[in-house]
Structures are given as C-alpha cells and as structure tokens.
C-alpha cells in the first residue's frame, strides 16, 4: 500500500504538472472506485472544473478544484496515477465484447495511428480517467480495485478525512504529543504506529524502518518505552519518511509514480523485506514475524526484546 512518502511524491509531481489544467470530462470504468457522490453526480460535478492545487493528508491525495470542491483519493493497495501526454486515445469496446474481461482489465489506450499500448503494465486496470482541456489524460489504475475517489465540497473536508492523527512532517507532530499517545497503551508499538489516529500516513514499511532506527523491538508494549526511546522513535519516523520522499517512494510490486517509474527507496530500506540478509548495522541476520496479521521485519541484534516479559506482547505465528 502506498504510504506517506509515495503519496507525497506523487502529489509533488501532480502539483508541478496539472495545476491550472481544466477537466473537460471524466470517465469511470469501475463504479465502486467512486466513494462519493453517486457516479452520475460525480461525472457531472467534476466536468469543467479547474485544478487549483494538490495536497496530501496522511495517505490521502487531495486535488483542489474550482468552485470550492476537492477530490480525495485513497490509493489503498495498488492504486496509481499515470499522466498521458496529448495524442492518446481511449478504446472501451471491450465493455460490450467481454464484460468479465472488462471488469478485470478496463479500457485500452492507444496513440494516434492505432498503435496499442495496453500490453504495458502501467496502462492496465484503469478504473477512472480525467481528460483535460489540453488533451492530456490522467489515469487512475488499480489492479486490486480497493482504491477510492471522492468529490467533496471544501466545507466537508473534515468529514471526508475523519479519524486522521497529526501529520508527522508538520510541527503538530511534536515529541510531547507523540509520547502522550503512547503512554498507557499496552498494545505493541508496531501496531500503534499503524494506527492512523496516532500518526497519519505511516504504514508497514516505514513503521519497520522507524523501529529499526530507534533500536526498538516491534513487540514492545508502547507504554514500556522510556522517554529517550520515544524521542528517538519520533526522530526515526521523521527521518525515514523524509528519506522515503527524497528517494521517490518504495516500490516492491505495484507502486509507480506519475510517469510509471518505480521508486528508488527499495534500495535504501534497512529491514523491510530484508529477512535473511545481514543487518547493515551489526551483521545479525534480519528476521520476519507476524504481528496482528501484518509482517514485521527487525534485527534481533539491534532491536532486542526487553528482559521484562510484561513489556512484550505475543506475536501471531
């Protein structure tokens, strides 16, 4: 699932590429991709609006539109945006030819002259398409079909984004606020970091990396952390998210940027998906475990479990 760095990197690319563009029309090829409002209303309301800005909140991508409206996009597991230059066409004939195949693959895209490009992975599984007045197309592709797009009035932004905690790269995410959210929690620290009400935008990748940075075992109870450990973990969260953005996000399978390119942060992670490899810090072999049905990667040498049994939660095999 794209996390804060992946969403932020795409937001920056969109900000540089589509602000000022006007949406001539939109197409929806998988109706369940639209979370609000109903699809006919969505299509009617989004047409003719000018893109005035691009923001991010947690893992949500926000596109500000004229008329005090905005698009909220949660990419979930496999959602990506792809910006096509002028000259691309859209073929929806598969919808009438083979409805089952259409529901899986969506439309195909071609350049002038009819040359098909659908064999390229980044063009497949398009669930929505925004066509700009200048002829460019912004595609939302999503093989797993979990991603959601909503169109909202600006006064309902709090409703659309309810339940999100502080932004970890903003001043509101202070050490004091973070420490306060950990005190009294008997839940494992890895699970707490994935709670979007505690810190918005952190997911499995960057939780593992932040815990490694702070030398904290993922099974530690959140309430067992010392003041120094909470301060170091706070620092680690900010550090790994910042570096993730600088490296264009982390690509393992599905995440791609606006131009279909994979992020480079995969080459910079220390523990995530590194099980069986030596720790870059101490040489101990990286291990993987399952906590609450989520994988956790850690170094048993650098991130040792505490001596007090009560400070550790039980893992799920």
How far the first Cα of the chain sits from its last, in Å, is 22
Among 2, 107, 143, 168, the active-site one is 2
CB atoms near residue 159 (< 10 Å):
10
24 given a catalytic annotation:
no
The Cα 274–Cα 251 span in angstroms is: 14
Residue with tokens 């969109």: 14
Identify the active-site residue in 56, 59, 148, 220: 59
To the query of whether residue 3 is one of the catalytic residues in this protein, the response is yes
User: Which among 12, 294, 300, 306 is annotated as catalytic?
Assistant: 294
Is 294 in the active site? yes
DSSP states of 142-194: -TT---EEEEEEGGGHHHHTTT----TTSTTS-HHHHHHHHTT--SBHHHHHT
Per the annotation, does 185 bind a ligand? yes
Catalytic residue among 3, 6, 8, 209: 3
Q: Is position 177 annotated as part of the catalytic site?
A: no
Which residue, 50, 14, 27, is CA-closest to 102? 27
Binding-site annotation, residues: 144, 185
- The residues that are catalytic are 2-3, 59, 294
Return binding residues for DNA: 144, 185
């Amino acid at each position: 699932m794209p996390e804060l760095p992946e969403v932020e990197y795409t937001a920056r690319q969109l900000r540089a590429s589509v602000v000022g563009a006007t949406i001539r029309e939109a197409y929806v090829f998988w109706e369940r991709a639209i979370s609000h409002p109903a699809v006919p209303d969505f299509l009617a309301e989004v047409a003719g609006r000018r893109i005035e800005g691009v923001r991010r909140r947690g893992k949500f991508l926000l596109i500000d539109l004229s008329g005090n409206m905005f698009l909220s996009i949660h990419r979930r597991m496999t959602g990506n945006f792809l910006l096509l230059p002028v000259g691309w066409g859209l073929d929806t004939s598969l919808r009438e030819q083979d409805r089952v195949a259409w529901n899986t693959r969506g439309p195909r895209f071609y350049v002038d002259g009819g040359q098909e490009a659908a064999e390229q992975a980044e063009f497949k599984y398009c669930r929505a398409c925004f066509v700009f007045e200048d002829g460019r197309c912004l595609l939302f592709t999503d093989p797993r079909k979990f991603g959601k797009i909503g169109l909202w009035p600006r006064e309902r932004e709090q409703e659309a984004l309810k339940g999100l905690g502080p932004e970890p790269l903003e001043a509101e995410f202070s050490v004091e606020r973070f420490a306060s959210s950990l005190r009294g929690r008997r839940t494992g620290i890895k699970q707490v970091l994935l709670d979007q009400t505690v810190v918005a935008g952190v997911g499995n990748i960057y939780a593992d990396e932040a815990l490694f940075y702070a030398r904290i075992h993922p099974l530690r109870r959140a309430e067992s952390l010392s003041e120094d450990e909470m301060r170091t973990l706070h620092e680690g969260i900010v550090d790994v998210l910042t570096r993730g953005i600088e490296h264009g996000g982390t690509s393992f399978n599905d995440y791609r940027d606006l131009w279909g390119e994979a992020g480079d942060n995969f080459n910079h992670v220390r523990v995530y998906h590194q099980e069986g490899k030596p720790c870059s810090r101490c040489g101990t072999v990286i291990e993987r475990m399952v906590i609450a049905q989520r994988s956790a990667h850690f170094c048993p040498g650098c991130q040792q479990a505490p001596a007090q049994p009560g400070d550790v939660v039980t893992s799920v095999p």
